[in-house]
Amino acid sequence: MTAAQIPGLDPSRIEAVLELFRDAGHAFVTPPILQPADVFLDLTGEDIRRRLYLTHGSDGTDLCLRPDFTIPVCRHHVSSGGSNLPAAYCYNGPVFRQRPDGLGEIPQLGAESLGRTDIAEADADLLALSVRALETFGVEQANIRIGDETLFAAVLTELGLPSVWQRRLRDLFGETDKLMAAIDRMAGANSADDDSRAVRLGFLSALEGADPEAAHAVVEDLLSIAGISAVGGRTPSEIADRFLEQAALTSAGKGHEKAAASLRAYLALKADGANSVASLRTFSSTHGLDLAAPITAFEQRLAALDAKGIAPATLSFAAEFGRRLDYYSGFVFEIHSAAGETAGPLVGGGRYDRLLTLLGAGANVPGTGFSMWLDRIAANIGTVS
């Protein structure tokens, strides 16, 4: 879908936003529409995996239409050598995700910043840039929601939970209903199928405890015997990994009631940005958790945003808020229409410090960025001239 095909959106506004990005140092790139499917199956999360448009190359390679831009832009950086850092990119074009109604072709543009080590300043720069871009489109009134997975991860670590539970809960961060259900299970709440699950996973738990590699091989063999080659785009090896994770969760046991209570209290925290640090420190003190380092980093980011004209009091912090893409690892944000014209966010973004390493970068490369949904922006502003 081209800019001219987006009802209510003047194409010149898109060019003005791209010029804004270029002036801020972001080079324009156009990653291929066809992308290797395994990368997205591994790194995007269940919400995107089940909405991929999948196909095959002539050599049998699994491919997909790009469902987002962040991964393709990062792949572009790595494939071009990835040695020139910091680097910044911008883009404009369609992404493809299956939808229950409407077209699965979604027009987006956005910006990514890679390799900056001044973390708070980089996050503030990208959020401020997205606000200026919305203003260029004519969106003057918007609500900014922020969260931070780094804080949640620090809470998990301080609570001393088994590592398998820490991984599972962190994987669910941003999907509050599923996360709360997992916390209830961890605390000892029984579901209707707990007994049958225990029977199904009992032998896997024993194998996993004795020899994880052997257990993995057994599960793959069982899937092969059953004639299962793939489920939802996952290979037998990936299915085996999932089975063994569930077995490990079972063997890790239940009864973490105190930790569950602390997690529920943390996830219930909500405040405007100006009061969020005080709320976090009160929680930390009340529950006896040392969160000084991540809270200080969070406070530094708020100060950097304030210096760029985004007053903390105008931000809405929710401890439960995370974006439903697995590669996000820290600060996240969404910008919604203050008029409520669209259900989804106009802008979404955040920090993804592990992504480039997972894509093959030779060293850890910090990353942060955002995407803008042009169809939602057009619906919000009406006809722009």
- Please give the pLDDT value at position 325: 82
What are 83-102's pLDDT values in tens digits? Answer: 789 999 999 999 999 887 77
Give the Cα separation of 199 and 353 in Å (integer): 39
Residues 6+ apart with CB under 8 A from 150: 294, 297, 298, 329, 330, 331
Pairing of strands 331-337, 87-96: unpaired
What are 187-243's pLDDT values in tens digits? Answer: 877 554 554 454 444 555 555 455 556 666 666 666 677 666 655 555 555 555 555
**Average pLDDT taken over every residue of the chain:** 86
What are 337-370's pLDDT values in tens digits? Answer: 987 767 789 999 999 999 999 999 878 899 999 9
Q: Worst-scoring range by mean pLDDT, 108-112, 131-135, 160-164, 332-336?
A: 160-164
Angstrom distances, CA of residue 68 to CA of 18, 145, 268, 349 = 18, 21, 30, 12
Highest mean pLDDT (candidates 161-170, 233-242, 290-299):
290-299
Residues 6+ apart with CB under 8 A from 304: 120, 121, 123, 124
3-state secondary structure (DSSP) of residue 370: strand
Give the Cα separation of 54 and 7 in Å (integer): 28
Percent of the chain with pLDDT over 70: 80
- The distance from CA 266 to its chain's CA centroid, rounded to whole angstroms, is 19
Burial of 183 (0-12, 13-18, 19+ CB in 10 A): buried
Nearest CA among 80, 132, 130, 128 for reference residue 110:
130
Q: Where are the domains of the chain?
A: 3-141+338-381, 149-188+256-320, 190-253
- Please give the pLDDT value at position 254: 59
Q: What torsion, rounded to 10 degrees, do the Cα atoms 226, 229, 230, 235 define?
A: 110
Assess contact for 95 and 69: CB atoms under 8 A.
yes
Give the Cα separation of 120 and 77 in Å (integer): 22
Angstrom distances, CA of residue 48 to CA of 55, 65, 95, 233 = 16, 12, 12, 12
Q: Worst-scoring range by mean pLDDT, 75-89, 100-114, 248-262, 285-299?
A: 248-262
More confident site: 252 or 17: 17
Assess contact for 345 and 60: CB atoms under 8 A.
no
In three-state form (DSSP H/G/I as H, E/B as E, the rest C), the secondary structure along 326-346 is CCCCCEEEEEEECCCCCCCCC
Residues 6+ apart with CB under 8 A from 213: none
Neighbour count for residue 292 (Cβ, 10 Å): 11
The helix-helix angle for 176-187 and 163-172 (nearest 10°) equals: 160
Is residue 167 predicted with pLDDT exceeding 70? yes
Region 248-274: what's the mean pLDDT?
84
Domain 3-141+338-381 in CATH 3.40.50.880? The answer is no
- The distance from CA 63 to its chain's CA centroid, rounded to whole angstroms, is 21
Helices (H) and strands (E) in the chain, counts: 16, 12
pLDDT-derived band at 35 (thresholds 50, 70, 90) equals: very high
- Please give the pLDDT value at position 314: 97
